[in-house]
Amino acid sequence: MILHILITLLTIIIQVLAKNSTYQNPILPGFHPDPSCIFVPSKNNTYFCASSSFLVFPGIPIHASHDLQTFQLVSNALNRPEQLPALGTTKRATSGIWASTIRYREDEDVFYVFTTMVFDDLPKEDGGRFDCLVFRSRDPFDDSSWGVPTHFGFPGYDVSPYWEENGRLFVVGTYAWQVQQGIQIFELDLGTGEMGEARSLWNGTGGSAPEGPHVYKKDGWYYLLIAEGGTGAGHMVTMARARSLLGPYEGYEHNPVLTNGGPQAYFQNIGHADLFQDRRGEWWAVALSVRFGPDGSYPMGRETILTPVSWEENEWQVFGKVFGTMSGWEFDSESVVEQGMGLVVDADFFSCFENGYVLGPEFVYFRFPVEGNYGVSKEGHENSVQLISSKSNLTGSDGRSAEKEGQTFLARRQVHSYFDFKVDFDIDEMKNEEQEAGVSVFLDQLHHYDLGIVLLSNSTANSSELVPHFRVRGITTVPTFASPTLAVVRVPQDWRGQKLSLGITASNLTHYALSAAPVGNEAERIVIGWGNGLGLTWGFTGALLGAYATSNGREEGFSAYVSNWSYVGKEQVVGS
């Protein structure tokens, strides 16, 4: 006990005295849960991180950094429908790509991402609920380098590889709802996908859902890191160790090694960690966390945080407590990754979609996009993206299922507490009732707020005339199911026939303002309605901001054109 206290004090002192080591959490803000990171010296001293993506496509974003402070999106491991066709058919927003572990084999010069495609609408005891996968790449800076994955038949999730010195590959994974089995280990032949017999390693400390395992070897010990307590308020990181890879494993008497910093802490639900060393040999941990608003909301979902770890010879790890502004081991000098396909994770963004523009890897869809529904700078509509409407709106037929003809929605992640998002719309081709184009702050099909320009019958005259209206609609299950129309406002007469700018702004920590203005006249912008962030606080994902087009169930389709897409981050709130 005394030794544990001394190590903890030493860690705090080192953090205080470390040079050039102040940084800000989260390092990957917004929808970037279940992080896994590695350091690869042979790739220009670069850190690589992978995170979960669920039903968002492209999936498994890969971020890279030289300094653990500035992270750039360099590729998405899942970037082509043929890699995993089932992603386009699944039900429930909690389905899709769960936790991914990234590792690199120097002798092969290959990056590996181990992950699981989960069909969360199937019964938990159904072995078909899980499809475990391995993606490979020799160049993680290029989407096309990630191939079609190898599948293997482990009936669980959160799979993570461990290679012994002789090259034998073992995989640890999770049966979270079967505590008597807990964390499993088995040998895997990557060439054939053949598994050896699985055996139990450890059931954790008694918390619910023992999951998220990783194995590390140091000083002759095998250390097993796991998550327990579910991904909510009881989330925590616990450790066990053994002299043999196959056990028996003994839990650390001072577990948990990392958890929430108390009920008043701004960063909550901390867990699902991974460990890695930097170029100086110092240890770090990444984990997921959420940032609680004053009403308990966290619409950005589970984000990636970083904390230093002290790991003395033959001793247990001591994790630094998580705050918004942190001090840790000394960083390398700041240097932006020059390779890769995307931008720095929290960069502002503006595009007029000039001719030849290619939608970058930050643009995402919910499940697979319908080919041809998103065209850049079509003839007669230069400097815009064509959105060909889907019959389905963003909720769809039941709020959970894949729509056969898709859902036209182009989005990017919210990555700031306070932000301003705007996009211009040309709706001249809308001719029929209930045709609608607009913007949405979207978590999933059952949790989103939309501001649409929609054609509705003239409600004040005995006429069949269709009049453009602004309409705000929301759907949520928090705290109970609700699907209200929040506002319907006629587009002002002198705005009609013009391009219209729709916007979503977060200027406080509890609500989104949904607004409209004629393009070129910001002084006339009006707030049409509000979306409650608590209504987007659900499940495993985080808020997306984007543009949609739908005929709301009608057969007649149309095209809307969006231009001048703008996202400006105003502030990152990280607590006191």
Residue 72 parent element (H or E): strand 72-78
User: Helices (DSSP H) in 459-572: which residue ranges?
Assistant: none
Range of the domain at 68: 2-327
Provide the residue type at 70 as one letter. T
Residue range 491-509: mean pLDDT, rounded? 96
CATH number at residue 164: 2.115.10.20
**Co-location of 387 and 295 in the same domain:** no
Q: Are 403 and 506 in the same domain?
A: yes
Burial class (CB in 10 A: 0-12, 13-18, 19+), 179: middle
Q: Note the pLDDT of residue 16.
A: 44
What pLDDT, on a 0 to 100 scale, did the predictor assign at position 168?
Answer: 96
Q: Are residues 223 and 267 in the same domain?
A: yes
Q: Is residue 334 part of a domain?
A: no
pTM for the model: 0.95
Residues 132 and 13 in one domain: yes
Number of domains in the chain: 2
pLDDT band at 266, cuts 50/70/90?
A: very high
For residue range 276-318, what is the model confidence (pLDDT) as tens digits?
Answer: 999 999 999 999 999 999 999 999 999 999 999 999 999 999 9
Assess if residue 98 is contained within a domain: yes
Q: Which CATH number goes with the domain that contains 517?
A: 2.60.120.200
Please indicate, yes or no, whether residues 315 and 419 belong to a single structural domain of this protein.
no
Residue 344 located in a structural domain? no
Rounded CA gap, 562 and 388, in Å?
11
SS3 268: strand
Residue 249 lies in a domain: yes
Residues of the chain above pLDDT 90, percent: 88
Exposed, middle or buried by CB within 10 Å (0-12, 13-18, 19+), for 462? Answer: exposed
* 264 and 173 in a common domain: yes
AA letter at 290? V
Least confident of 101-105, 258-262, 388-392: 258-262
Which secondary-structure segment (H or E) carries 289?
Answer: strand 283-291
207 in Cβ contact with 229 (< 8 Å): yes
pLDDT of residue 17: 45
Identify whether residues 17 and 150 lie together within a single domain. yes
Residue 339 lies in a domain: no
d(Cα 238, Cα 214) in Å, to the nearest integer? 11
Which tens digit of pLDDT belongs to each residue from 538-549? 999 999 999 999
DSSP 8-state symbol, 522: G
Q: How many CA atoms lie within 13 A of 314 on its CB side?
A: 1
pLDDT in tens, 79-91: 999 999 999 999 9
Residue 340 domain flag: no
User: What's the DSSP call for residue 573?
Assistant: -
| Residues 150-173, mean pLDDT to the nearest whole number | 96
Domain boundary among 294, 327, 360: 327
- The full 3-state SS of 88-139, as one line of letters, equals HCCCCCCCEECCCEEEEECCCCEEEEEEEEECCCCCCCCHHHEEEEEEEECC
Q: Is the pLDDT of residue 21 over 80?
A: no
pLDDT at 447 over 80: yes
Residue 520: left if φ>0, alpha if ψ -120 to 50, beta else—which one?
left
Per-residue confidence (pLDDT) for residue 7, from 0 to 100: 46
* 343 part of a folded domain: no
Q: Is residue 338 part of a domain?
A: no
Residues 274, 366 within the same domain? no
Cα-based angle 249, 252, 254 (whole degrees, multiple of 5): 165
* Locus of tokens 């609700």: 482
Task: List, by residue number, the catalytic residues.
Answer: 34, 211
